[in-house]
Structure formats: C-alpha cells, structure tokens
Amino acid sequence: RGGGVAGAARPAAGVPALPDGEGLTVVVNTASGTAGSAGLDVLRERLPKAEVVECGGEELEAELAAAAARAQVLGVCGGDGTVNAAATAALRAGVPLALFPGGTLNHFALDLGLGGAEDTCRAIAEGRAVRVSVGRITPTDGSGDGATRYFLNNFSIGAYPELLRHRLRWAPRIGGGPAAVLAAWRVLRAERPVRLTLAGRPRSVWLLFAGNGTYHGTGPTPRRRDSVGEGLLDLRLVHGGGRPGPRLLAAAFTGPLSRSPLHVATHRHGLRIEDVPPGTPLAYDGEYAKAPGSLVLAALPDALAVYRPR
C-alpha cells in the first residue's frame, strides 16, 4: 500500500526546528512489530542530540506522558497503537508529534505521507509540520474507566472489534491471513447485531465504523485515505436483524456493499451513541476495549501538529 498525500492537511505554524535534535525525546516501543529495524540508526546519526527512551509493556503510557512534559517535541517509534498513545500524550501536553514508523502496518504514517525515518528527521531539522485532525471518544454516562480516548485512524463498534480481538490472538501462531479467515468464521457463527441508539434513534447494527477523514472504498471498513486533515468523521453503518445478518457480515469482509440498503455511509462532525449494552467491545486504532454505556464521537479539526517534510 502506498503512502497518501495528506492533501487537506495545512502547514503548522510555529513548530520548532531542531537541526541536531536537541529538545526532541523519542519513545521507542520495543514490543512493536519492527521497532528494532525502524530507522533508529538514521535518527541517531541525523539528530544526535535527541533523547531516545526504549521501553515496552505497561510503562509505555507513563513514559510517553513524562517525555511529552519535558520535551519540546515528542517523538515515537512504534505501530499504530503506540502512535495513538503518543498522540494522546502530545495532545494533553500541547506539543508537536514526530513519527518514526515502527509497527507492522503503520496506517497513519502512510496516510500522512511519511516514507520512513529520513523523512521525519528532515522535517524536524527544517521545522516543517502539518495540522492533522483527530477523532475523540468521550464517555457521557460515567461507566467504564471514564477515560476520553482519541483515534488517528478509525473507531468501530459491533462485529469488527470482535474480529480484531480474535485475529490478534491467533496471528502470532498461524499468520495474519489465516487468522483473519478464522476470526471471520468465528464471528459469523457467534456474533449477533448490537442494539443501541444513534443520534436519538434506536438501531440494530452489525457494525458502526467511524474514520478520521474520508476513506477510499465503498465497503463498511475501507482502508486508505488521501487526507488526514479533513476534520470530518467518515461513518459507515451496517444494519442488523433477521437471517440476512450473517450473509451481510460475510459480504462486509469480502467486498463492497455500496448497493446494499443495509449499508449506510455519511459524513458528520460528531455522533452521539447511547444505550450500548454492557460488555460491548469497541476498537480504535487497532486497540481493543469495552464500550461505555453512552459516548460521543467528535472530529477535532487541526488538533495536532505532526512533522512531515514538504
């Protein structure tokens, strides 16, 4: 998959140029898929005064928060889940973010147009960045852990989080492709539509997908963006109910559903989701959690400055 162009992302004014890396702290997730070969040698050569912190596991979020509090620029090396945690820390601290792709897929870095560590180092040295939009997940009923979460790529509720959970569990043993097939088979046999309230209207859904910006493709879980600065949620909804549900879900994972009256696509600045059954899973940027009973999704335009060369 090729990188995007981030066409609607506007230049970020006032970000610091760090020619030798002084003022940059890069947190490396040693547990990420390709962190060991993600261009850290390039970083150390091009920006020799940058601080590099290697960690993994439960201490990652604390290290990111501490680094964001003391640095002019927070850098991160890891996959999409790690980048999500870094973006959250950068948003809370009000500092720019620098990405060194180091995961298995690196969706956000590719859609941003970053080719690798050389691009990021050049952008930091020259002080070039863009403003990107961020999706926000805000619980509104006090259930769950009550934490506000963010997503750079996408959010989903319904069958897809269960698919993700099974796939992540089986992929290390049997490989990504077979794990996806096995996970889809498991979900088709075991899952049922989720009954909830969307924007005040009761719904039964197999899947609700919200992308941070418009994704290409007509299926309910599209995979590529040209822009990360649009400031809109790309909403895809697969209605549930009745015997057609499993067949519809099968189609969702194998092809587009643009002609199905049960697949709805629209764009919105936000969406209120209520009456979520206890224990319902959600997924955001590849991470997996239990959904609160009610929440609000919102697109935050120009929320974060991220380094990217011209």
Is 119 part of a structural domain of the chain? Answer: yes
247 and 271 together in one domain: yes
Last residue of a domain, one of 78, 105, 126: 126
Is 6 part of a structural domain of the chain? Answer: no
pLDDT at site 127: 97
193 and 290 together in one domain: yes
CA–CA distance from 252 to each of 60, 101, 286, 305 (Å)? 34, 29, 18, 34
- Going by pLDDT thresholds of 50, 70 and 90, the confidence category of residue 222 is low
Is 174 part of a structural domain of the chain? Answer: yes
What are φ and ψ of residue 193, in 5° steps? Answer: -60, 155
Dihedral angle over CA of 288, 291, 297, 300, nearest 10: -40
Task: Give the Cα separation of 91 and 113 in Å (integer).
Answer: 21
Please compute the mean of the pLDDT values over residues 37-46 and round it to a whole number. Answer: 83
Is 11 part of a structural domain of the chain? Answer: no
pLDDT at site 4: 40
Is 229 part of a structural domain of the chain? Answer: yes
Q: Is 23 left (phi over 0), alpha (psi -120 to 50) or beta?
A: left
Last residue of a domain, one of 108, 126, 144: 126
Of all residues in the chain, what percent carry a pLDDT higher than 70?
A: 82
Domain CATH code at residue 112: 3.40.50.10330
pLDDT 10s digits, 285-301: 988 888 999 999 999 99
CA angle 69/73/78 to nearest 5° reads: 95
Domain CATH code at residue 157: 2.60.200.40
pLDDT at site 143: 76
Q: How many structural domains is the chain composed of?
A: 2
- Hey, which residues does 207 pair with through a beta bridge? 158, 238
pLDDT 10s digits, 148-198: 999 999 999 977 677 777 777 787 788 866 776 777 677 766 667 889 999
Contacts of 225 (CB under 8 A, 6+ apart): 4, 111, 211, 213, 214, 215, 216
Please compute the mean of the pLDDT values over residues 26-37 and round it to a whole number. Answer: 76
pLDDT 10s digits, 107-146: 899 899 888 899 999 999 999 999 999 999 999 987 777 8
Q: What residues make up the domain containing 230? A: 136-302
Contacts of 57 (CB under 8 A, 6+ apart): 31
pLDDT at site 102: 84
pLDDT at site 38: 56
